[in-house]
Structure formats: structure tokens, C-alpha cells
């Protein structure tokens, strides 16, 4: 399990203050550098010395994005007196804050990973802050890592965020990694959002079981070029689940990220935060999906952990299947959160982030999951969720607004027998060419699984009779192998098929892209909008530096509540 403790000469949020001149001296003679310029490219950087030099620096929101930001990093060895020094644009002195240490020992290769987190409180809304991170045994202590961030605005105000999932690492030695992941990180900086949503399957470390911490390190150092400048808010995907790393396999993920508190016995798996009049809800769909949701030993040989771990070999066919791990706690938390938001007139929009999909037509992708449709789509309908952002299938797809479902509209993928898939019911616009949608009529689902991982872009599956899109659907839990050891499951393909009457548009030209969202709170008594522009990188696998071009823009519009 991950461990956590305070490090530093004293405890407390503010230990001592530094003058601006001392802060700049600490940051380097030339002043504050950008995050992209303070760490060598992961492709050219060699292994760091085993000391407390910060790397993999990234930001997340605290419980209130207007006043709290968390600065996080890792080091190759245990840091001595790690801390962050933070100064606001209107402040003459910086405050020094000691870091909390979190660590875990990888359950497959036995490596201990050291991470550090500083929760910076009492910030001012809409303010830019400079910071530096260091330790007594930082080899760059004379010119430590420095960057800056901006807090969220107070009250209703315009802002931008970006999103994609399935990012991976640019180090192509790893399974499912791709050079495109470096350009995907640069794309976030190109659009300069207030924050970024990372929709699961962060680096695919569990597909590289003997090298999990090394893959995470490549991922963190690549992301640092953006994530040190603005919060990157993740949700766990199936590839964050790792053998021998905690009850649900999330120890690596939970050690590296300090996320808003959810008040349950499962911190870090799900959370919410609010910016302006938009509530963001981040979920762990591994808890409710029917499909396989974790690492899998394909064989033919067992997966043998390093002797130092004391762990036994893991037999071929073993799958880390975690469906139902919270015993409904996440769904109860979700309903409570959505019910409270629906009654709050200061909240106009509800945006949900999760990894797996309930609406997708990708022919070579994973498929829709009835588990999400059963557990969460009725709550989205009841409490007026406007937008759901996913990854998992490595492409872009947009649904029509959906509300309710059609019963027994699917059929068994093998026998053709009519089965229940809870087919989402679209609310079709009067004008089929419209790009403006009133989400009070239904929830729009976006598949944004083209962050950077290597994957082909495929066309959707078709109904051979109608020629219209068809979707695969998981309708039953994974089945244990009879007579096998615990946690050994059959990895079945999707159980059923249905006509994808809810699918509105799909990108078949590129597997890579980024969604950019601009929120306009509008005027009292008028409308509020969220404009989504999706940019894709056509030919990204063939060009050394792909450019992102506009694929489509839609506008979500509704009456402002307050």
C-alpha cells in the first residue's frame, strides 16, 4: 500500500517567507523558466542520479480550485527536506511549504517509488503564482525546477479546458506507446487551458509488467511540459490496474496523484470540483463495468515477480477483475453529488469524466458497457448531466443528446436472440445539420481516446441490412474459468450487438486528437454556453511533427440558472 508522511524541518502551510530577490535567486539567475525548459526531453535524458532531484512535476486542483492547488513530483531516491516555494504575482515574498511523502513498492519488480506533494492553500482566485520545488539533496538545487500556474476564477466567469484520454509515453520501447504522445502534450500547451482532463489509461504501465515504474517515469517527464503549468485532472482506466499493487491495483496511480477529497473509504478513485458554474465529476468506471477491467496474463508462461517482492508467480489466464469493489459506495456518492448539484442554482453545467464507454461504435474497439448504462445513465438522466467525456476506444465519436432507453433492442452476438442492452434513446434535432444542442433534453457523450497511444483509426461496424452504425455491447460479467485459481477469468468479446441510433458523428481520418472546451457563463436572465472544438492530427503516424486541424465544433446552450 502507498504510504504517506510529512517531510520537512517544520510542519504547517507556511514555514518562512522569501523575498522576491531570494526567490528569483533560488529559481536561477535568469529568473523563472518555463516548465518545458527546466527538464531534459525524456528521449534524451539519461537515468537521473539516485538523489532527491525533482522530476515528473505536475499540478492538480485542491478541494477548491479558486484557492487550492497541489504541486506533486517524484525523485529517484528519497528526498531530504523536500518543499515548494510559492509566490503570488501581487506578493513580494514567497512562502515555503514542506512536502508530504507518498511511496509504494512495485509488486512486480520490487522498486520503491518516492513521490512528494504540497497542498498550497489560501490562494487568491484568478491569480497567477510562481513556484519552485527542491530538496536538500537536489542536484539542481542552485537552479531548481520552477514554473507557474493560475487559480480558477471566483464566481461565474469564462474559462477554457481541454481533454483527451489514452495518452501513453513517447518512448516506443513500451507496449502501446507512440511518439504522438509528446505532440499531444504540446497540444495542450498550444491551446493554453486553465486545466486539462485526462480520461484514463494514462501510460499503459501494466502492459509492461517488469518495467511499470520506468514507464510511469517516462509518462510523468513527458507530461511535465504541460502538467507543471496547469492542473491535469485524471481518472483511472483499466490500465491503471496493476498486479500486486494494492487491493484494486491502483497503488501507483494513487501514490502519484493527490486529488480532491470524496469523503469515502476510497480516496482518489473518484472526486468532483467546480470551476465557475460548471461542476466536474470524475468517476472510476472499473467499479461498474462488465468487461475485463485490469491487467491480464496472456501466457504461455506465468508472470514471475522479482524475488524481493515475495509475491508468487501469476498464472496465464489470470485477470485482475475489480467490478463491484466499492460495494455501491461510488454510485451512492455520485447520486448524492448530482442531487446536490441539481439543487444548486450557482451550477449551470454538469460534466462527467470517466474512462470506459457506454456509447461507442468503434469496430476494433472495446464496445459499450451495459454496466455503466445500468448504474449511472439513469442518474445522468435524473439530475441533468450535460456532457460525458470518455476514452478507452482510441478515436473520436460524438453522440446525439440521449435520454432514457429502448428495451430489448439488442441481440446476442452469437445466437442472434433478442437481448436487453438498454439502448440509449437519442433526442434527434429538428435540423439534422445543426451544431447547437440544448442539453436539458439529453446528455451528449464524447469518446476522446486519441491522446497519443498507438492505435489505428477504424470505421464503425455496420448493420449489413441497413448499412447504419452498429455497436458492440458487454451485457454480462466476465466468467471465472471453472476449476481455476481465484481471479482467473475468461476474457470474452462483447456479448451483444445493437444499432447505434444514438451515434451522431465519428472521426475516421485520425486516431489522434484533442477536445477544447470554452465556457461562457452568459448574462443573468440569458443563455450560457459551452463550445467544444475537436482538433485531430491527420497523418500523425507518418509525419515527424503533426499539426492539429479542426474536425468539428458544436455549441451546448441552455438557460442560465442564476
Whole-number Å distance between alpha carbons of 277 and 120: 23
What local confidence, expressed as pLDDT, does residue 1 receive?
Answer: 44
Query: Is residue 131 over pLDDT 90?
Result: yes
Q: How far apart are CA 181 and CA 187, in angstroms?
A: 10
**What is the domain-level CATH number for residue 122?**
2.60.40.380
- Mean pLDDT computed over 285-302: 87
Q: Closest by alpha carbon to 496, among 395, 385, 420?
A: 420
Confidence of residue 19 (pLDDT cuts 50, 70, 90): very low
| Residue 412 domain boundaries | 270-287+324-447+455-559
Which pLDDT value is given to residue 484? 64
- Higher pLDDT: 379 or 36? It is 379
Q: Is the dihedral of CA 185, 187, 188, 189 positive or negative?
A: positive
What CATH number did the domain enclosing 372 receive?
Answer: 3.60.21
All three cell numbers of 315: 498464472
In angstroms, what CA-CA distances link 178 with 184, 446, 453? Answer: 10, 23, 5
Q: Which carries the bigger pLDDT value, residue 348 or residue 16? A: 348
Smallest CA-to-CA distance from 248 within 487, 497, 515 is with 487
Neighbours of 45 (CB within 10 A): 13
- Quick one: average pLDDT of 203-214? 95
| Pick from 308-312, 412-416, 456-460: least confident | 456-460
| ω into 152 cis (within 30 of 0) | no
Question: Does residue 221 belong to any structural domain of this protein?
Answer: no
Q: Which of 103, 132, 150 is the last residue of a domain?
A: 150
> Which pLDDT score, from 0 to 100, does residue 456 have?
62
What is the mean pLDDT of the segment spanning 527-536? 98
**d(C-alpha 161, C-alpha 516), whole Å:** 6
Contact (CB, 8 A) for 26 and 85: yes
**What is the arithmetic mean of pLDDT over 427-438?**
95
pTM above 0.85, yes or no: yes
Asked whether residue 207 is assigned to any structural domain, the reply reads no
Please report, for the chain, how many H helices and E strands are present, in that order.
Answer: 7, 32
Residue 196 sits at the vertex; the CA angle it makes with 195 and 200, to the nearest 5 degrees, is 150
| Residue 199: inside a domain | no
Instruction: Report residue 486's pLDDT band, with 50, 70 and 90 as the boundaries.
Output: low
19 SS3 class: strand
pLDDT digits (tens, 9 = 90+) for 229-253: 999 999 999 999 999 999 999 999 9
In a domain, residue 213? The reply is no
Q: How far apart are CA 432 and CA 276, in angstroms?
A: 32
Alpha-carbon torsion 24, 27, 29, 33, what sign?
negative
Averaged pLDDT of the chain: 89
Find the mean pLDDT for residues 443-464: 82
Residue with more model confidence, 30 or 341 = 341
Residue 339 maps to a domain: yes
How many domains, the chain?
A: 2
CA distance 160 to 530: 9
Classify residue 481 as exposed, middle or buried by CB count within 10 Å of its CB (0-12, 13-18, 19+).
middle
Whether the per-residue pLDDT at 33 is higher than 50: the answer is no
Q: State the DSSP H helix or E strand holding residue 371, giving kind and residue range, or none if neither.
A: helix 370-375
Between 113 and 41, name the one with better pLDDT: 113
Q: Which residue has the higher pLDDT, 405 or 43?
A: 405
Give the pLDDT confidence score for residue 316 in this predicted structure.
Answer: 85
CA dist list (Å): 153 to 67, 128, 158, 234: 9, 11, 8, 21
- The answer to whether 529 and 517 are in contact (CB under 8 A) is no
pLDDT at 489 over 80: no
Q: What are phi and psi of 158, to 5 degrees?
A: -70, 150
- Say whether pLDDT at 508 is over 90: no
Contact 171, 177 (CB under 8 A): yes
Residue 397 lies in a domain: yes
What's residue 318's pLDDT?
A: 85
Q: How confident is the model at residue 310 (pLDDT cuts 50, 70, 90)?
A: very high
Alpha carbons 220 and 169: distance in angstroms, whole number: 9
**Beta carbons within 10 angstroms of residue 491's beta carbon:** 13
Q: What angle do CA 228, 230, 232 make, to 5 degrees?
A: 90
pLDDT of amino acid 144 = 96
Helix (H, G, I), strand (E, B) or coil at 550: strand
Distance, in Å, from the CA atom of 349 to the CA atom of 342, rounded to the nearest integer, reads 9
Using alpha carbons only, give the angle 230, 231, 235 rounded to the nearest 5 degrees: 150
Query: Among the three residues 116, 150, 184, which one is the final residue of a domain in this structure?
Result: 150
Cα gap 94→97, rounded to integer Å: 10
Q: Report the pLDDT value the prediction gives residue 137, as an integer from 0 to 100.
A: 97
Q: What per-residue string of b and e applies to 524-553 under the rule 16 or more CB within 10 Å gives b?
A: eeeebbbbbbbbbbbebbeeeebebeebee
- CB contact at 8 A, 526 and 560: yes
Q: Which domain-ending residue is among 86, 118, 150?
A: 150
> What pLDDT score was predicted for residue 353?
98
Q: What is the arithmetic mean of pLDDT over 351-360?
A: 97
Q: Are residues 275 and 126 in the same domain?
A: no
- Answer whether residue 18 shows pLDDT above 50: no
Per mean pLDDT, which range of 259-273, 315-329, 509-523, 537-551 is the poorest? 537-551
DSSP letters, 74-110, are EESS--SS-EEEEEETT-SEEEEEEPEEEEEE-TTT-
Total count of residues recorded for the chain: 562
Please indicate, yes or no, if residue 34 is contained in any of the structural domains: yes
User: Strands 3-6 and 100-105, how do they pair?
Assistant: antiparallel
Residue 175 lies in a domain: no
DSSP-assigned letter for residue 497: E
Amino acid at each position: 500500500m502507498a504510504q504517506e508522511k510529512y517531510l520537512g524541518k517544520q510542519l504547517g502551510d507556511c514555514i518562512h517567507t522569501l523575498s522576491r530577490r531570494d526567490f528569483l535567486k533560488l529559481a536561477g539567475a535568469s529568473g523563472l523558466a518555463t516548465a518545458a525548459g527546466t527538464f531534459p526531453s525524456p528521449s534524451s535524458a539519461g537515468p537521473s542520479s539516485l538523489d532527491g532531484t525533482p522530476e515528473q512535476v505536475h499540478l492538480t486542483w485542491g478541494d477548491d480550485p479558486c484557492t487550492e492547488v497541489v504541486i506533486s513530483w517524484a525523485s529517484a531516491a528519497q528526498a531530504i527536506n523536500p518543499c515548494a516555494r510559492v509566490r503570488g504575482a501581487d506578493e513580494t515574498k514567497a512562502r515555503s511549504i514542506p512536502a508530504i511523502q507518498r511511496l509504494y513498492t512495485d509488486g512486480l519488480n520490487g522498486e520503491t517509488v518516492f513521490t512528494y506533494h504540497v497542498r498550497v492553500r489560501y490562494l487568491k482566485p484568478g491569480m497567477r503564482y510562481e513556484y519552485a520545488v527542491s530538496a536538500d539533496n537536489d542536484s539542481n538545487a542552485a537552479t531548481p525546477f520552477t514554473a507557474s500556474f493560475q487559480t480558477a476564477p471566483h464566481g461565474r466567469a469564462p474559462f477554457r479546458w481541454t481533454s483527451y484520454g489514452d495518452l501513453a509515453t513517447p518512448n516506443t520501447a513500451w507496449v502501446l506507446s507512440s511518439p504522438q504522445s509528446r505532440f499531444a502534450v504540446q497540444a495542450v500547451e498550444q491551446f493554453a487551458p486553465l486545466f486539462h482532463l485526462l480520461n484514463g489509461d494514462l501510460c499503459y504501465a501494466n502492459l509492461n509488467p517488469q518495467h511499470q515504474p520506468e514507464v510511469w517515469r517516462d509518462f510523468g517527464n513527458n507530461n511535465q511540459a504541460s502538467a507543471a503549468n496547469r492542473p491535469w485532472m485524471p481518472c483511472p482506466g483499466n490500465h491503471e490496474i496493476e498486479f500486486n499493487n494494492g487491493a484494486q491495483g491502483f497503488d501507483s496511480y494513487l501514490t502519484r496523484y493527490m486529488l480532491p477529497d470524496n469523503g469515502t473509504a476510497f480516496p482518489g478513485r473518484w472526486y468532483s470540483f467546480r470551476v465557475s458554474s460548471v461542476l466536474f465529476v470524475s468517476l472510476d468506471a472499473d467499479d461498474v463495468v462488465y468487461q475485463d477491467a485490469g491487467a491480464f496474463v496472456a501466457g504461455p508462461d506465468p508472470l514471475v515477480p522479482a524475488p524481493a517482492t515475495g509475491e508468487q508467480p501469476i498464472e496465464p489466464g489470470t485477470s485482475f477483475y475489480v467490478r463491484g469493489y466499492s460495494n455501491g459506495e461510488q454510485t451512492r456518492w455520485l447520486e448524492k453529488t448530482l442531487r446536490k448539484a441539481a439543487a444548486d442554482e450557482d451550477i449551470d453545467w454538469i460534466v462527467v469524466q470517466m474512462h470506459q464507454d457506454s456509447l461507442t461504435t468503434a469496430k476494433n474497439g472495446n464496445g459499450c458497457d451495459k454496466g455503466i448504462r445500468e448504474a449511472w445513465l439513469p442518474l445522468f438522466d435524473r439530475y441533468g448531466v450535460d456532457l460525458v467525456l470518455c476514452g478507452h476506444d482510441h478515436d473520436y465519436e460524438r453522440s446525439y443528446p440521449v435520454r432514457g432507453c429502448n428495451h430489448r433492442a439488442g441481440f446476442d452476438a452469437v445466437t442472434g436472440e433478442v437481448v436487453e442492452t438498454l439502448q440509449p434513446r437519442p433526442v434527434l434535432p429538428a435540423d439534422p445539420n445543426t451544431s447547437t444542442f440544448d442539453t436539458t433534453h439529453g446528455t451528449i457523450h464524447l469518446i476522446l481516446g486519441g491522446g497519443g497511444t498507438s492505435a489505428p483509426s477504424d470505421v464503425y461496424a455496420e448493420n449489413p441490412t441497413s448499412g447504419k452504425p452498429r455497436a458492440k455491447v458487454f451485457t454480462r460479467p466476465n466468467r471465472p474459468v471453472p476449476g481455476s485459481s481465484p481471479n482467473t477469468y475468461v476474457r470474452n468479446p462483447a456479448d451483444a450487438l445493437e444499432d447505434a441510433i444514438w451515434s451522431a458523428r465519428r472521426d475516421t481520418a485520425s486516431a489522434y486528437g484533442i477536445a477544447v472546451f470554452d465556457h461562457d457563463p452568459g448574462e443573468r436572465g440569458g443563455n450560457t454556453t459551452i463550445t467544444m472544438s475537436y482538433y485531430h492530427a491527420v497523418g500523425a503516424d507518418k509525419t515527424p511533427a503533426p499539426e492539429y486541424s479542426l474536425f468539428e465544433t458544436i455549441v451546448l446552450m441552455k438557460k442560465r440558472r442564476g
